Amino acid sequence: MPSLSELIALIPALYLLVVAWPLTVIDLREHRLPNRLVLPAFPVALLAQLIATIISADWARQLFALLMALLFAAIGIGANYIDALGMGDVKLATVIALTLGYFNPWLPVIAIGIAFVLAFAVVLVLITLGKVKISSSIPLGPYLLVSFIGANLSWLITN
């Protein structure tokens, strides 16, 4: 059973769960993740994690969450620079890393890795079926959100 501090730290996951459907629809339709839905997750995550950290006095969790967010932001900005990722995907991956990194530093690596594997598998099928070209861009947001929800569920089940 999660502790009180862990339940508080899950608040940003609830926010992302609430906006997951609109983000998915917008990303599939417009190939963008709007700031008005993604950016509020940052202060929600930071505030919830700060409160959880004060309650638990486990500052290492907060540090790991921040380090994972910085790592994914740096990698994402580099990928954006070479046009491999959109900035909406970078911001979403960063807030996912921040949120999941509080519970386990490997959780964001696994979740975001699974998102890329899922997206790659779907793209391979679509290329094989002739639905997209190899140079086409795909919306990554839905894959990030599905793997994020799966990571949270797996963490809740095992705790």
61: left (phi over 0), alpha (psi -120 to 50) or beta: alpha
Q: What is the number of other CB atoms lying within 10 angstroms of the CB of residue 56?
A: 16
Q: What is the pLDDT of residue 124?
A: 92
Cα angle for residues 127, 86, 45 (degrees, 5° grid): 120
Number of domains in the chain: 1
Q: What is the pLDDT of residue 23?
A: 98
Mean pLDDT score across all residues of the chain: 95
**Which residues span the domain enclosing 105?**
4-158
pLDDT tens, 4-21?
999 999 999 999 999 999
Instruction: Return the HEC string of 56-110.
Output: HCCHHHHHHHHHHHHHHHHHHHHHHHCCCCCHHHHHHHHHHHHHHHCCCCCHHHH
Classify burial at 79, counting beta carbons within 10 Å of its beta carbon; exposed 0-12, middle 13-18, buried 19 or more: middle
Please tell me the distance from the alpha carbon of residue 38 to that of residue 124, in angstroms, as a whole number: 28
Q: What is the pLDDT of residue 106?
A: 94
The low-confidence residues of the chain, meaning pLDDT below 70, are none
Q: pTM (2 decimals)?
A: 0.95
Are 112 and 55 a contacting pair, CB within 8 Å? no
> CA separation (Å) from 90 to 4, 27, 85, 96, 131?
30, 13, 7, 10, 26
Q: What is the pLDDT of residue 37?
A: 98
Q: Which of 75, 89, 101 is nearest to 38 (CA)?
A: 89
Q: What is the pLDDT of residue 131?
A: 87
